Amino acid sequence: MKIGFDHEKYLKEQSKYILERVENYDKLYIEFGGKLVGDLHAKRVLPGFDEDAKIKVLQKIKDKLEVVICVYAGDIERNKVRGDFGITYDMEVLRLIDDLRDRGLEVNSVVITRYQNQPATTVFINKLERRGIKVYKHAPTKGYPSDIEQIVSDEGFGANPYIETTKPIVVITAPGPNSGKLGTCLSQLYHENKRGNSVGYSKYETFPVWNVPLKHPLNIAYEAATVDLKDVNMIDPFHLEAYGEKSVNYNRDIELFPVLKKIIEKITGEKSIYQSPTDMGVNRVGFGITDDEVVQKASKEEIIRRYFKTACDYKKGELDVSALDRIKVIMEEVGLKPEDRSTVNPAREYSKKLKETAGKNDTCSVVAIELEDGTILTGKKSPLMDAAAAAILNAIKHLGDISDEIHLISPLVLEPITNLKSQVVSKKNTTLNTKEVLMALSISAITNPMAQHAMSKLQNLKGSQAHSTTIISKDDEQIFRNLDIEVTCDPEYPTQNLYYV
């Protein structure tokens, strides 16, 4: 993989800049946008970016900070899922706490925002508290965000409990967008000011990249990633007016800035030092780009990937048609087609060939995998295993120079697994998925050196690209994620059955 981003340079620049910002205050609240841990979008569009770069920045200054995690009660109630890991927001909070602790970072507490005694959220609060996690509950703030007199009062932010913190830097993060991070920061600013503390607010948002052109594929890829939020990148008019310099921000921050500035001034009783939403940011990711051509290419790949994800989410009923229409406009804007993804045509052409001899109701699912050296291999669904499992077996056979004629998994291993699945686990679907096939392969490897050799090649699939002609199962999706294979799917189900997981 060609590298277009200097991770070490970014870490040094970013940690230095945050420390410079906190020098002006007794305490600095930093709203962290995007993913604090496992920022897979940044990793894909900035080849060389460490997906855990943000948390590594914090590790450099960990003695000076603590972390508060926000989660919106409504997201818990509707079981909102973090798309890149496939887990719900409440489970992501638990995972995030573990990750932060493992890296030596202090987790102060969890804040439940817009809490109104929702039942599932109350259960989650009990779970946290009984594991020793401090929980604060913030109700919806009256008048937020426009009625400044109301919200900057004891009936507004003052109605929220004060979060007791001890470090000069407080990081406010969340499982995803619209979790109430800004409201929590402002509430704390109100309480800190009442206590006589000099306090500041900043925002750490990786995308859009403020010092990269508005129509750069890197910034357009951010729009593609947030079509459900309807985010639109714009030139920051406040920054342009104040400094005569162009910088990129997005519509929500620009629209909110005048109100946010007034709120901060009302809280502190002083004129804000910020002249633009760009001023509020502390992100230095743009300074880590070392090869713009590599970044542009990776960003275009990501836009196509987001197109397929949006189309599949629409098919599943998780997005409305406006999101699908928006991603189509973005594709046209950049001059991209779905077929520009290298694995799409090989998968579709093989599927089409299979359909010529199959029944009209057979979807003929096919998965194509492109290896790091450009080799593309395919796998088709069969009565024994699904297309994803077949493609991975074919790929590791190729990497291990193993003949297609050789069966890696003994029938003595497969038979009891398929029997168990048909009799107990899933009587309707006896086809083995990737997880089940790899478990069978690991058992065969005990007595079969060829299977052991093939298993050793799984790590070589890292960074591969894949495409499926049908929507893959959640289990297959998780295995591809664990193997670090980027997979996209055509928005078609592999079966006529309505129940499909």
Q: What pLDDT does 94 receive?
A: 96
Q: Is the sign of the CA dihedral 187, 191, 193, 199 positive or negative?
A: negative
Is CATH 3.10.630.10 the right assignment for the domain spanning 7-288?
A: yes
Q: What pLDDT does 83 receive?
A: 67
- Decide if 7-288 and 342-489 have a common fold: no
Q: Which residue in 107, 96, 86, 88 sits closest to 35, CA to CA?
A: 96
Q: What pLDDT does 264 receive?
A: 94
Tens digit of each residue's pLDDT, the chain (501 residues) = 799 999 999 999 999 999 999 888 899 999 998 888 889 999 999 999 999 999 999 999 999 999 999 999 999 999 888 766 678 999 999 999 999 999 999 999 999 999 999 999 999 999 999 999 999 999 999 888 889 999 999 999 999 999 999 999 999 999 988 899 999 999 999 999 999 999 999 999 899 999 999 999 999 999 999 999 888 999 999 999 999 999 999 999 999 999 999 999 999 998 999 999 999 999 999 999 999 999 999 999 999 999 999 999 999 998 999 999 999 999 999 999 999 999 999 999 999 999 888 766 677 999 999 999 999 999 999 988 999 999 999 999 999 999 988 888 887 888 888 877 777 766 666 788 999 999 999 999 998 999 999 999 999 999 999 999 999 998 999 999 999 999 999 999 988 777 655
Query: Per-residue DSSP letters for 312-351?
Result: HHHHTTSS-HHHHHHHHHHHHHHT--GGGSTTHHHHHHHH
- Model confidence, pTM: 0.90
Residue whose tokens read 């406009």:
329
Q: Mapping DSSP to helix (H, G, I), strand (E, B) and coil, where does residue 193 land?
A: helix
Where are the domains positioned within the chain?
7-288, 342-489
Query: Per-residue DSSP letters for 47-92?
Result: TT--TTHHHHHHHHTGGGEEEEEEEEHHHHHTT-EETTTTEEHHHH
Beta bridge partners of 235: 248
Is CATH 3.40.140.40 the right assignment for the domain spanning 342-489?
A: yes
Q: What pLDDT does 279 receive?
A: 94
* CA gap 326, 321 in Å, rounded: 9
- DSSP conformational letter for 385: B
